[in-house]
Each structure stands twice: as C-alpha cells, then as structure tokens.
Amino acid sequence: MLRFEKGPIPRGLKALQCQKDGWRDSRRFWDPILRDQHYLCAYCQRRIEPQNERMHVEHWAPQNPANQAGDGSQNLRWSNLLGVCAGTSGKERHCDTAKGNQTLYLHPVEGQGPSPREHLRYWVDGTVASDGRRSSEVQKDIEILGLNARILKRGREELLGFIQQRLGKGQWTVAALEREYKKWMLDSAPRAPEFVEVAGFFFRRWIRAAARR
C-alpha cells in the first residue's frame, strides 16, 4: 500500500461532489487523482493510467459501508478518493474488486490515518505482513485487499531480485545506499516504479544494517 501526499482539490470537483456519483463519470479528474499517486494503484502499487480500464476511483471510507445505514455522502471528500486497480487476476481478487464496501484500518494518504509504511513489512518471497503492531487490524486489511495474491507476490519478489542484482555482492556504504534509495522514493519521478514501497522497505533495512557495520 502507498503512503503519499494528496494535492489540492481540482477546480470543479467540489460542485460534482454535491451530486451523488457525479464525479465518477468525469474522467478529467482521474489524472489529478493518479498524479498524486505517481500513477500507481494506492493499494497494490501496480501501474495504472487514467485512460486504462483497470483504473477505478475508490472511496477509502466507503459511501455505503457494509452493515451501516446512510448514503455515505460525507465520504465524497477529496482526501477519501483514491485511484486503484480493478484487481482481477485470473480467479484471484484484490484491491477494488476484493474490498467492496469493507472498511480499512491503514490509510494511503498522509495525515489521514495509520500509515502503511509504519505497519507493513515485506519478505523476500514477496509476501506482505503486519510488523506485529496492531497486527489484527493490519492483517485484516491485507486480507480484505488481497495483497498476497500470487501476481502481487510475484511482482514484489521480482522487484527485489532486480534491485539485488543491480546492487551486486559488494558492501555498499550508507551514503551510497541512501543515494540509491532516493532514486526509488515515490516523488523521484512523475511515474514511480511499481511496488515502490517494497523497494523503500528493503533500502531502509539495508541502510540500517550498513550503519551498524
């Protein structure tokens, strides 16, 4: 899951927010939504584009939460709108398709809730898991979003393999690792690399290990 800064609300969106589902049919707002996310799915971190049928506009807090009354109109605020992928990979479901109207604990937007960066850890086989704090809530989010779907685990594993091959077997200094880390930060390019938070997780771990040597 990403953690990113949400930019200013686009002009004209406030008027559409007064119309239930009105914004959903206006694709001109899709690019601003994705621009803040550097064109990655807010949940699985795979590439999505505003003109792609895989792109969905998602409410972090659902408009019609499961087992709750009300129309959810209060959840049409800008910070609640995310760009996510449809989440269909063969028989597996993840992201938008898997989440439905379920509620989450972790929030991708800075300042809007518990940070995925502080609660998720990644293993070398591509698995994502709780770091042990608030593990029941975090693990529930992982299951709701299907973040351990095979296609996602494989993508994360392949990314780690690519980075390790790039780094080679030499001992890197803290400064050198930090320079490499900056290349993988979310704001390093308009379109960030897929699974960018996975790269960040391992670089931070390698930097800590180098500092102890």
CA 95 from centre of chain: 9
User: What's the Rg (C-alpha) of the chain?
Assistant: 18
Question: pLDDT by residue for the chain (213 residues), tens digit each?
Answer: 999 999 988 877 666 655 555 555 466 778 889 999 999 999 999 999 987 778 888 889 987 655 444 444 456 688 899 999 989 877 889 999 999 999 999 999 999 999 999 999 999 999 999 998 889 999 999 999 999 999 999 999 999 999 999 999 888 999 999 999 999 998 888 999 999 999 999 999 999 999 998
Residue 37's Cβ-side half-sphere holds a number of Cα atoms within 13 Å equal to 31
Q: Report how far Cα 203 is from the mean position of its chain's Cα atoms.
A: 18
Pick from 144, 147, 120: which is nearest to 131 by CA? 120
DSSP state of 142: H
CB atoms within 10 A of CB 60: 22
